[in-house]
Structure 1
Amino acid sequence: MNGLAAVWLRPGVRAAVWQTLAGAVVIAGVLWVAANISGNVARRGLDIDFGFLAGRASFEFGENLVGYRAGDSFLVAFLAGLANTLLVAMLGIMLTTIVAMILSLARLSPNRLLSRLAWGWIEAVRNTPLLLQLLFWHQLAIRALPGPHQAWAVMPGVFLSNRGLVFPALDWQPAMGVALAAFVACTAGAVLMRRAALARGAGAALRTVVMFALALTLPVLLFLAIAEPLEGSVPTLRGFNFQGGVSVSPEFVALLAGLVVYQAGFMAETIRSGILGVPKGQVEAAASLGLARGQQLRRVVLPQALWIIVPPVTSQYLSLTKNSSLAVAIGYPDLVRVSQVTISETGRAVECITILLLVYLSLSLFTAFLMNLYNRHLMRRRG
């Protein structure tokens, strides 16, 4: 017994035992769920078959990025819904980060009025349900806008009405894709060369400016060399609605606005806590060097605050992506909406729900993977 007790007291042994037990419980739970689903399907005379994805879908929905039309396969319909979900998630993450940063800085502002306004925004959105906010944006904000004849001119050629947002657009051509690929490659090259220049020291700032100038100039010259004459369209009011340009539906505008406003309230507090987590001595040292408040924030505070901010912000990004599934409540054709309509047409509920689970799980894991890579980069710089 003394020998067994000594072995059990070893932390590594106890950890291995508990992890094994936890793994066994998880596997048993998965097997139980699988057996339960299999039994229910068998009793109802059904089978699990994803071959329905090759069938023809008869439903139609509005905006989509893959050109889906009624009569295409269910697979194309799911891809269209996935593209809409990804569009909302990516735009939402970018806009939420910008808005949250502005809110957090306003919350920390010495201007009492600005700070109180930011506090009111944050507390209002953090203490009301997201679904309610989406309905507010859809029914009371977007749908309450004037019609196309009285549309708001946001800027020349850009109009906002209860039919959505319309703006000018250029017709796509292959040269644009080539120029975009060249821009990505040149920018990556400029970043690598900048690191090498910084390692060498002398003249690093000038070389960095030259490198990024070339990264912007070369793709433009390449595009001008191979591009066809540019063609596009500008929205014009014809009849009861605008024609031409690119039109964004009211549902998309409401969904994006609701997600950004809601998630920015949580993220702003995360960013504010990260800024406050930087030791005051660092701020005082920056001030003693004669740095202005903006320079202190940009060069001293934020680089150190990122170590605190990035892990919880990752959770906010994941939450935003998953919360986009509430788009079904306001009629935006995302992946969940496509799945619901497909279930009503085919009865393949298990298969559709499985696809949803796998897609959202993959999106969450991929987002977490990218943020973990960035966090490791920060930690290497810190070390």
Structure 2
Amino acid sequence: MNAALLNDPRVRGLFYQGLLIAVLGALLIGGAYNAYVNMVARGIPMGFGFWSQVAGFDINLHLIPYSGVSTYGQAFWVGLANTLLVAAIGIPLTTLLGFAVGLARLSPNWLLSRSALLYTNIMRDIPLLLQLLFWYNAVLKSLPGPRQSISVGGLVFLNNRGLFLPAPVPLSGAPWFAAAAGAAALAALLYRHWARRRQELTGAQAPVGWVSAGLLIGLPAMAIAGFGAPFALDVAKLSGFNLRGGIPVIPELAALVFGLVTFTAAFIAEIVRAGVQAVAHGQVEAAAALGLHRGLADRLVVVPQAMRLIVPPLTSQYVNLVKNSSLAVFVGYPDLVQIFAGTVLNQTQAAVQVMAITMAVYLAISIAVAVALNVYNARHALKER
């Protein structure tokens, strides 16, 4: 009986899997015990009591309230918010630039396609860290001082202290403008849904683009005409040795975003190019036979099919952008790694707890990005009939 069980492949598989789990568990327990003994011997804290202790250091960029008397826990949330800020800015910009360069690679214009090819080759072959240091030290730090700022229309200013954008200040007409814009967006979506259903039933096409543009422009314009301008602009002005007012973007953030966007967009461009070229040419010919012009054929036939091939590798590039943002420490941007895994770790010596929390945060962000794109991919994946 025992011999028969041992000769059963399923039983043997379960036995070896159980043995592997036992070995891994023993290694994990042994490592945890060894870490505990060494932490006790060296007086390293093992709990999370440091979380509520006063941090005692300042952070030059914080999206949430923070000061030198805030706690280490508040410093963690500042670092997390700054990391999410880079991801929120970088992912949309990278997508736009990557798709633009990828489509440029397929352009029949020789100069445009070769320029896109040169861009992708250069950006992919230079290490990201070198690109970040280039943007920070060679480009942004070499800009003129605040008194000689580069001005764009008297609204945007660029100098070695950062980029200063005009800040919108709400006026009395702002609620009406927001309501009109929301109503216009809802009306445009409803009209688009109605037009699609009508086309499926009758084949007749409706001018969705023109109607949507009219709604999105017309209704807010009527609100402005009736209730006045919704916003005023707070433009940065020279005060002492620096500009004050507006929305300041520190050089560290600008260098990090520029580097991440230009680097990651080169990989996305190749993904887009490969995805579009993978669509059978017969699909384009079939669309032309139905009377669709090139732009409409690309939008309705080529791009939807290409997206099924583009989204899976695109997910990896988004995740890489989030993870690569941890290189912010080399340009001095106060992200989660610099604040929490750097300053907080050095002051508290709680290395295990701090690094575990930091790794868990990056893991959670990466999983969230991957899940969101996997949901999109599942909804648009080719279904077998």
Q: Using structure 2 for the length normalisation, give the TM-score.
A: 0.84
Cα deviation for residue 195 of structure 1 reads 4.6
How do 1:152-191 and structure 2 match up within 5 A? 152-171=150-169, 191=189
Cα deviation for residue 292 of structure 1 reads 3.5
CA gap 1:173/1:21 in 2 versus in 1, 3 angstroms: farther
Aligned residues of 1:57 and 1:72 also touching (Cα < 8 A): yes
Matched with 1:330 is: 331
Matched with 2:348 is: 346
Aligned residues of 1:105 and 1:272 also touching (Cα < 8 A): yes
Please give the per-residue CA displacement for 1:143-173, whole angstroms capped at 9, x wherever unaligned.
1122222222234401111111001112479
Cα deviation for residue 21 of structure 1 reads 6.0
Q: Within 2, Cα distance between the matches of 1:172 and 1:67?
A: 22
Q: Which amino acid aligns with 1:373?
A: V
- Which of 112, 115, 118 is the matching residue for 1:117? 115
Please give the per-residue CA displacement for 1:188-227, whole angstroms capped at 9, x wherever unaligned.
7975785576346468965967789778888999999999
Of all paired residues, the percent bearing the same amino acid is: 43
Matched with 1:244 is: 245
Aligned residues of 1:236 and 1:243 also touching (Cα < 8 A): yes
Answer yes or no: is 1:361 the counterpart of 2:359: no
- Which of 126, 129, 137 is the matching residue for 2:127? 129
Cα deviation for residue 344 of structure 1 reads 2.1
Q: Within 2, Cα distance between the matches of 1:240 and 1:20?
A: 68
Q: Within 2, Cα distance between the matches of 1:22 and 1:185?
A: 60
Q: Using structure 1 for the length normalisation, give the TM-score.
A: 0.84
SS of the counterpart of 2:381? helix
Q: Which amino acid aligns with 1:351?
A: Q
Q: Which amino acid aligns with 1:128?
A: I
CA gap 1:80/1:105 in 2 versus in 1, 3 angstroms: same
Aligned residues of 1:194 and 1:207 also touching (Cα < 8 A): no
Q: Within 2, Cα distance between the matches of 1:219 and 1:303?
A: 32
Q: Within 2, Cα distance between the matches of 1:65 and 1:125?
A: 31
Q: Within 2, Cα distance between the matches of 1:37 and 1:52?
A: 19
SS of the counterpart of 2:112? helix
How do 1:139-288 and structure 2 match up within 5 A? 139-171=137-169, 191=189, 195=193, 198-199=196-197, 201=200, 230=231, 232-288=233-289
Please give the per-residue CA displacement for 1:254-304, whole angstroms capped at 9, x wherever unaligned.
000000011111111111111111111112222344444333322211110
CA gap 1:37/1:112 in 2 versus in 1, 3 angstroms: same
Aligned residues of 1:138 and 1:254 also touching (Cα < 8 A): yes
Q: Which amino acid aligns with 2:164?
A: V
Report the RMSD for the aligned CA atoms in angstroms.
Answer: 3.7
Q: Within 1, Cα distance between the matches of 2:39 and 2:221?
A: 58
Q: Within 1, Cα distance between the matches of 2:188 and 2:18?
A: 48
More displaced, 224-233 or 373-382? 224-233
Q: Which amino acid aligns with 1:349?
A: A
CA gap 1:318/1:30 in 2 versus in 1, 3 angstroms: farther
How do 1:48-63 and structure 2 match up within 5 A? 48-63=46-61
How do 1:304-323 and structure 2 match up within 5 A? 304-323=305-324
Q: Within 2, Cα distance between the matches of 1:159 and 1:47?
A: 47
CA gap 1:324/1:42 in 2 versus in 1, 3 angstroms: same
Q: Within 2, Cα distance between the matches of 1:60 and 1:178?
A: 40
Aligned residues of 2:165 and 2:247 also touching (Cα < 8 A): yes
CA gap 1:229/1:293 in 2 versus in 1, 3 angstroms: closer
How do 1:13-32 and structure 2 match up within 5 A? 27-32=25-30
CA gap 1:342/1:318 in 2 versus in 1, 3 angstroms: same
Aligned residues of 1:187 and 1:212 also touching (Cα < 8 A): no
CA gap 1:144/1:22 in 2 versus in 1, 3 angstroms: farther
Q: What are structure 2's unaligned runs of at least 5 residues?
A: none
SS of the counterpart of 2:163? strand
SS of the counterpart of 1:237? strand
SS of the counterpart of 1:118? helix
CA gap 1:373/1:333 in 2 versus in 1, 3 angstroms: same
Please give the per-residue CA displacement for 1:12-54, whole angstroms capped at 9, x wherever unaligned.
x787677666655654554344333223212323332112111
